[in-house]
Structure 1
């Protein structure tokens, strides 16, 4: 397949980090092997991440999270981890593959989000829209939170499966629209398709007048879509801390599966209130699932190989440039093993994960 000529379709160009830039990153607190007990990270406004939940549950033990601010996107988050500004970051797996292809010395260590019947992104059109299939999208604007990540990748797969040629795909315009404005932009016909998930999806559906064109769950079934990454350097210098972190996140995933939804939501709401950042907790009541496919977030490789193949077909990376076995490790994930089974978590009044 020839490389797409439209610069707009170049996938995750913001991840064009040089090996030199990445190698210059520093790791906080790494005075010696397995020494640091502080993990710097970026959060999301109004949301609770799995590491934050794990800390509040007491699963991080003596490891402490240090919030350095909020991120604007997954690609930006893993860039920060790769350059040593933070100690871990998470993004859509296609972004992880692309970053690795740019010689970033990183490893995916655990899956943290995905798609299932409860957690998914939908591509919505107005009820009376003439858009019924992939071919109807020619000349249409598709509003999404960021380009070069999960939403654009799902759109491309949908268009390809719809039989559109490269030239025809180039006539569909992904457009960045702030998530809080996406529904309004659709209803005002500023865009033809709106990508909506979580509370924004549920609120829009409750209002009515829109219908799904497709969802990522429809497209690929249940799958883990994103992973947390750490640098090779951090893993080598702090294996015990990495093990505690990854295992804690895995345990938090399984705690969320086995705990009544209302209790999970109440826990996360309490975390947001305690950290005192003047955030709206309303979106949390719509939480249903992390969407992680595998037990404790373990990585199988297939969720990364999918994007290695896809990026190679698009010409964004060379075939053979990235090998899946070099991209991830489950070495640090001990969740579910003897001695790590979830016991009663710490009371909700424990410290928050911020």
Structure 2
């Protein structure tokens, strides 16, 4: 066999390197080794979070999730992220806006909750309640998960769109309680109305005894309103881990979109039963859709600018105090490569 010349060997080596680079660029996530292989997080009772679904589908491997307990509040969850008690947390986008405005070093990386025709949140009263319209809520006690967060924003938007004055809106009392307890408080008449989100809302409707006044989808259409955040420091130190998390969660969102509902529900049931957290496993039966606005959880400017404008109008923030570019990034989302943060 004729010996190869040095130039031929170099050419062959160059072709091999180019070929490996092409393979890596075709599958960038697989080519990037995560720096951290475990992510600490808080769950929600009786719910399967999208990252939990992603892990069960094998989309996060080799990264694993480490459940450290449940939260009952988005603001608490992202505050735990800031303090380092967990590695990531999720909350209403307005809560993230306020956190960033307070100079917290966090960045939203993917949407995980939203409203659509099938999955949405709603404002309820007891059957037979004298409350029939927005004006009837003036002077009433309304149960929400967290005052000042998404549910209060939606109720306030409903009141404003119905022509209720700012002065009268101020007469509404928002009472905090865990989502799983709100229906019970309504039935005991300790609250006049409650706002519930997604599958917990649908379970209340199915159980009977309550009437739906309005939904967020009726008010605002399809959109995303909550995101997962990491601290800037965590992202800087673990960019491949964050990319894997976002990629896996985005893929789980799209898996849930294209998979028949019965198959998704069966998967959610399996996850809840296997984790043994002493929770109501029947709630996942009311899952209808993924309910996230953008493809793969891609964040849009409006997902945050809406709440910046709302807070400026209500004097919570000063004009220009925070910009959307300070708050989120789609750089890790495989579905958001062409979407630039603004």
TM-score normalized with structure 2 length: 0.84
Alignment correspondent of 2:91: 91
Return 196-205 or 299-308, whichever deviates more: 196-205
2:128 equivalent in structure 1 = 128
The answer to whether the Cα contact below 8 Å between 2:34 and 2:63 also exists between their aligned partners in 1 is no
**Structure 2 residue aligned with 1:246:** 246
Cα pair 1:34 1:237 within 8 Å, conserved: no
- Return closer, same or farther for 1:130/1:250 CA change in 2, 3 Å cut-off: same
* In structure 2, C-alpha distance between the alignment counterparts of 1:127 and 1:168, rounded to whole Å: 24
Structure 1 residues 214-229: aligned runs within 5 Å: 214-229=214-229
Aligned-pair distance for 1:201?
A: 2.6
CA–CA distance in structure 2, aligned partners of residues 35 and 207 of structure 1: 46
Question: 327-336 vs 258-267, which deviates more?
Answer: 327-336
**Deviation (angstroms), 1:225:** 0.9
For 1:82 and 1:210, how far apart are their aligned partners in 2? 38
Separation in 1 of the partners of 2:99 and 2:273? 35
Structure 2: give runs of 5+ residues left out of the alignment. 1-32, 338-342
Q: Which structure carries more helix by proportion?
A: 2
Corresponding residue for residue 13 of structure 1: none
Give the corresponding residue for 2:80: 80
Equivalent residue, structure 1, for 2:149 = 149
* 1:223 Cα deviation after fit: 0.6
User: d(CA) in 1 for partners of 2:172 and 2:278?
Assistant: 38
* 2:268 corresponds to 1:272: no
SS in 1 for 2:67: strand
> Is this contact kept in 1: 2:111–2:298, CA < 8 A?
yes
Q: Identify if the C-alpha distance between structure 1 residues 175 and 336 changes in structure 2 by more than 3 Å, giving closer, same or farther.
A: closer
Match of 1:289 in 2: 289
Q: Which residue of 1 aligns with 2:114?
A: 114
- Tell me by how many angstroms 1:290 deviates: 2.5
Residues 310-331 of structure 1, C-alpha deviations (whole Å, 9 max, x = no match)? 0111111111101012211111
Tell whether 2:216 aligns with 1:185: no
User: Partner of 2:129: helix, strand, or coil?
Assistant: coil
Q: Tell me the number of residue pairs that the alignment of Structure 1 and Structure 2 aligns.
A: 305
Kept in 2, the 8 Å contact 1:251–1:336? The answer is: no
- What is the CA distance between 1:156 and its match in structure 2? 1.2
The answer (yes or no) to whether the contact 2:101–2:321 under 8 Å persists in 1 is yes
- Point out the more displaced range, 102-111 or 274-283: 274-283
**How many Å separate the matches in 1 of 2:237 and 2:203?**
46
Q: CA shift at 1:87, angstroms?
A: 1.1
Query: CA–CA distance in 1 between the matches of 2:60 and 2:69?
Result: 20
* Partner residue, 1:15: none
Q: 1:179 to 1:34 in 2, by over 3 A?
A: closer
1:28 aligned residue: none
**Counterpart contact for 1:74–1:92, Cα < 8 Å:** yes
Please report how far the alpha carbon of residue 335 of structure 1 lies from its aligned counterpart in structure 2 after TM superposition.
Answer: 4.6
66-75 or 106-115, larger mean C-alpha shift: 66-75
Q: Which secondary structure state, in structure 2, belongs to the residue aligned with residue 111 of structure 1?
A: strand
Q: Give 3-state SS (helix, strand or coil) of 1:243's partner.
A: helix
Q: More deviation in 197-206 or 51-60? A: 197-206
Range moving further from structure 2, 106-115 or 189-198: 189-198
Distance 2:52 2:44 in 1: 11
Aligned-pair CA distance for 1:97: 0.3
**Measured at CA, do residues 296 and 192 of structure 1 come closer, stay the same or move farther in structure 2, by a change above 3 Å?**
same
C-alpha distance in 2, partners of 1:105/1:54? 26
SS in 2 for 1:227: strand
Pair 62,199 (structure 1): closer, same or farther in 2 beyond 3 Å: closer
User: Structure 1 regions of 5+ residues with no counterpart?
Assistant: 1-32, 338-354
Structure 1 position 331 matched with structure 2 position 326 = no
